[in-house]
């Protein structure tokens, strides 16, 4: 499994992952929030909440990022404080449009 050699959150607006082969993946906070894989966000009620947040005029930002083991990242998002999603590196890489 690919593990990034560097993870950087830029201004709360995006996360940048640099891979061992030199490939760089950039994913916006908005894209991450929309793709949250947690049970709440995949439930119909949670999906409506995510849509409401994404349709709001308030910007979606990454308030915090953390490693989850050696296979994933966890994020805390503004404006809603959501933090339960676990984003495997493969998911983040796919969101950035970079083939795994």
pLDDT tens profile 71-97: 999 999 999 999 999 999 999 999 997
- Alpha-carbon distance 87 to 94, whole Å? 11
65 has which bridge partners?
A: 75
87 Cβ partners below 8 Å, 6+ apart? Answer: 32, 35, 36, 37, 68, 72, 73, 74, 75
The pLDDT score that the predictor gives to residue 33 is 97
pLDDT tens for 22-56 read 999 999 999 999 999 999 999 999 999 999 999 99
pLDDT value at residue 100: 47
- The predicted model scores a pTM of 0.92
């Amino acid at each position: 499994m690919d593990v990034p050699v560097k993870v950087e959150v830029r201004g709360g607006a995006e996360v940048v992952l640099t891979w061992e082969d030199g490939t760089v993946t950039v994913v916006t906070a908005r894209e991450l929030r929309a793709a949250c894989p947690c049970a709440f966000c995949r439930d119909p009620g949670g999906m409506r909440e995510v849509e409401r947040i994404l349709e709001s005029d308030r910007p979606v930002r990454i308030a915090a990022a953390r490693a989850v083991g050696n296979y994933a990242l966890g994020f805390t998002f503004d404006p809603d404080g959501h933090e339960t999603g676990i984003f495997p590196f493969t998911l983040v890489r796919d969101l950035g449009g970079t083939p795994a």
